């Protein structure tokens, strides 16, 4: 940071400055210092535009080129010319005002006046994550427009906003996973400072911001890294999205620095509170210290005393992602649990095709997932024909991120429709209650909190041609792993990702938030329970026990201090008459009675009306519903005769 940027987070700037950006264009008192890595070039010049004056850089060790140009200043445009040939944008450009193919902009990182001086940072415990895509979150699709919705998220009970990738990409819209300018926030979302303003405004409201970053591949259009060095990529490892990143081969030292510095850059210059690392199972590194572990250490040094959270998406479900580096892990704070989502999808839809093949959606799967984080911890996975997952031991519940929906899982369907469109409202409310009251960290996808009707489809904006055709065909082939989507009629009906209508249809309609007030209240009340209930808020999976009580029904028992337990009952099937009740978890703690606290059937939420499961004669549990009970100490009785009269009807004693 420089200039007025030092106002924020002063306590940790000394540590953070050690990790400051060392590549790209850096402002100094004598002009602008340029530095890039081009090990095979014989000559590198900086071309200042629009005058197109050229200034030679000096070669240093390991193929780095550097030079101080007094004539350069903030607001000017530039490119690098290699060996007297074509000029290209800076791989470490802080902003690309004309997109990834245009010139780079010299940016003063200290020009923005931060207001988050007293922001304390965030830790994993207690967080509720909200994933959003800037381009479709609002009609305008900009950082500044997204700021106007932050109050609604705060009111709901969200604590952390997870922003899908914003690195510069080609075209007018993109999911962000085709990013190519990894240091430049996409110009279609706003100016160089608008993302900083978004983070600043989130902090002002008490919301953290984490950024989704993609370090396993780059997009197919606008990737200039290979022109600067062929060592950025490797064919030694498979990669379903293109060439793998060279993290461990010849010349990999500067490559590691490029990506690790990028992680530190967002934390330092943009004050983000952490990162979500996309598909870490595709990070190939056979070296002594895995690149993700090195990244996690560097990111925390950059943040200094400010706590941050680092979360992995890992399809292989490697628990080492969240183990300390000192114990052979990668030192992250959280990892997505695909198992929970897949079990939910099968339970809700009854379909187990494609990569849902190895799930039954059974009550036992939910109990096991809540207690153990992952379902697959080394068992054979039929879909892949090999073992999947690693053994979970004492890792904290907060380290596993649960979700009913996310960008991938909504879009990986024919119509991109949301889960609440596939299942009845009662069952959906019960599943949501499980998500938001489980000890693991919950994630909501944008619009989920108000039952958005808009789909979320896969969209890109490549011009007509071979690349656009390849993208469309690749999407069809990917979805063909589901037999129903492989049918000719389904393949013909599949939307063209490059059609403008696909992007427009994926935008949220915020008027629905008012029209679906009951759904909003439902989420708000559950998040308040999660935040304020003294037992639920512990987030201790080791203090949760569970049992199956019916084909689609189960209970979770949360152990509380002084026997103030909680009991969550979830029934995803029809009405269940559980009399007699030979399940010890249904018995209240000694000297206590169950006190009814909450029901997903409340008419306020659009439910049919509350019928308490615990009756004079035992448990009769309505179908498609969730219920929460709290253990309350019984009123002392005067005599055995009184005890006999009181015991058959515990509800009268609440």
| Active site amino acids | 278, 313
Stated as kind and residue range, the H or E segment containing 59 is strand 58-59
- The counts of H helices and E strands in the chain are 19, 31
Burial class (CB in 10 A: 0-12, 13-18, 19+), 401: buried
Stated as kind and residue range, the H or E segment containing 449 is none
Q: Count other C-beta atoms under 10 Å from residue 245's C-beta.
A: 27
| Orientation of helix 252-269 relative to helix 291-303, angle to 10° | 30
Question: Which residue in 471, 339, 87, 653 sits closest to 347, CA to CA?
Answer: 339
Is 276 within 8 Å of 125 (Cβ atoms)? no
Is 260 within 8 Å of 295 (Cβ atoms)? yes
SS3 category, 645: helix
Strand ranges, E, within 326-466: 334-336, 380-381, 386-387, 400-403, 441-445
Is 24 within 8 Å of 64 (Cβ atoms)? no
Stated as kind and residue range, the H or E segment containing 64 is strand 64-69
Sign of CA dihedral 37, 40, 46, 52: negative
Quickly list DSSP for 408-428: HHHHSSSS---GGGTS-HHHH
SS3 category, 275: strand
- What whole-number distance in Å separates Cα of residue 647 and Cα of residue 644? 6
Stated as kind and residue range, the H or E segment containing 432 is helix 425-437
- The pair of structure tokens assigned to 391 is 């053994």
Q: How many CA atoms lie within 13 A of 12 on its CB side?
A: 24
| Radius of gyration in angstroms for the set of CA atoms belonging to the chain, rounded to a whole number | 27
């Amino acid at each position: 940071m420089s200039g007025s940027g030092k106002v924020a987070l002063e306590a940790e700037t000394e540590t953070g400055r050690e990790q400051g950006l060392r590549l790209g264009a850096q402002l100094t008192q004598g002009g602008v210092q340029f530095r890039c890595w081009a090990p095979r070039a014989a000559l590198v010049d900086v071309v200042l535009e629009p005058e197109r004056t050229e200034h030679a850089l000096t070669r240093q060790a390991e193929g780095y080129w550097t030079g101080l140009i007094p004539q350069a200043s903030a607001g000017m445009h530039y490119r690098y010319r290699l060996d007297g040939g074509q000029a290209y944008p800076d791989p470490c450009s802080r902003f690309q005002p004309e997109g990834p193919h245009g010139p780079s902009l010299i940016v003063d990182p200290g020009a923005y006046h931060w207001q988050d001086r007293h922001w304390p940072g965030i830790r994993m415990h207690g967080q509720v994550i909200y994933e959003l895509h800037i381009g479709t979150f609002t009609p305008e699709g900009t950082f500044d427009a997204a700021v106007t919705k932050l109050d609604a998220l705060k009111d709901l009970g969200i604590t952390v906003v997870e922003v899908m990738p914003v690195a510069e990409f080609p075209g007018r819209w993109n999911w962000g996973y085709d990013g190519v300018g990894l240091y430049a926030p996409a110009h279609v979302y706003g100016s160089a400072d608008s993302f900083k303003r978004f983070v600043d405004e989130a902090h002002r409201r008490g919301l953290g911001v984490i950024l989704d970053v993609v370090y396993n591949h780059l997009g197919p259009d606008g990737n200039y890294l290979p022109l600067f060095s062929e060592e950025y990529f490797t064919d030694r490892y498979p990669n379903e999205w293109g060439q793998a990143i060279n993290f461990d081969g010849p010349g990999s030292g500067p490559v590691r620095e490029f990506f690790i510095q990028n992680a530190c850059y967002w934390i330092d210059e943009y004050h983000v509170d952490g990162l979500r690392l996309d598909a870490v199972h595709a990070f190939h590194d056979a070296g002594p210290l895995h690149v993700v572990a090195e990244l996690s250490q560097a990111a925390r040094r950059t943040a200094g005393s400010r706590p941050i959270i680092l979360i992995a998406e890992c399809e292989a479900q490697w628990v080492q992602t969240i183990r300390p580096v000192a114990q052979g892990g990668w030192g992250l704070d959280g990892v997505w649990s695909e198992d929970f989502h897949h079990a939910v999808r099968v339970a809700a839809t009854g379909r187990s095709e494609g990569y849902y093949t190895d799930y039954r959606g059974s009550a036992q799967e939910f109990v096991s997932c809540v207690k153990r984080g992952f379902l697959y911890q080394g068992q054979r996975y039929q879909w892949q024909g090999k073992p999947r997952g690693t053994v979970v031991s004492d890792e904290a519940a907060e380290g596993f991120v649960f979700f009913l929906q996310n960008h991938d899982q909504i879009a990986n369907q024919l119509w991109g429709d949301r889960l609440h469109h596939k299942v009845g409202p009662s069952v959906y409310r019960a599943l949501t209650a499980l998500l938001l009251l489980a000890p693991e960290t919950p994630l909501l996808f944008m619009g989920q909190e108000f039952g958005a009707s808009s789909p979320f489809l896969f969209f890109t904006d490549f011009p007509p041609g071979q690349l656009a055709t390849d993208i469309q065909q690749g999407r069809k082939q990917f979805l063909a792993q589901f037999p129903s989507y492989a049918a000719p009629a389904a393949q013909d009906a599949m939307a063209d990702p490059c059609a403008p209508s696909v992007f427009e249809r994926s935008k949220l309609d915020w008027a629905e938030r008012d029209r679906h007030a009951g759904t909003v209240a439902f989420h708000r009340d559950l998040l308040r329970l999660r935040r304020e209930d003294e037992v639920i808020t512990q987030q201790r999976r080791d203090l949760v026990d569970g049992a199956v009580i019916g084909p689609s029904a189960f209970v979770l028992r949360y152990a509380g201090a002084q026997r103030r337990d909680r009991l969550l009952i979830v029934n995803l099937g029809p009405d269940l008459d559980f009399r007699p009740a030979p399940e010890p978890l249904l018995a209240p703690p000694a000297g206590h009675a169950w006190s009814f606290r909450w029901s997903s059937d409340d008419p306020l939420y659009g439910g049919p009306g509350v019928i308490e499961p615990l009756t004079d004669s035992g448990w009769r549990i309505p179908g498609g519903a969730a219920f929460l009970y709290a253990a309350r100490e019984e009123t002392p009785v005067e005599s055995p005769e009184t005890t006999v009269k009181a015991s058959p009807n515990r509800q009268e004693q609440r």
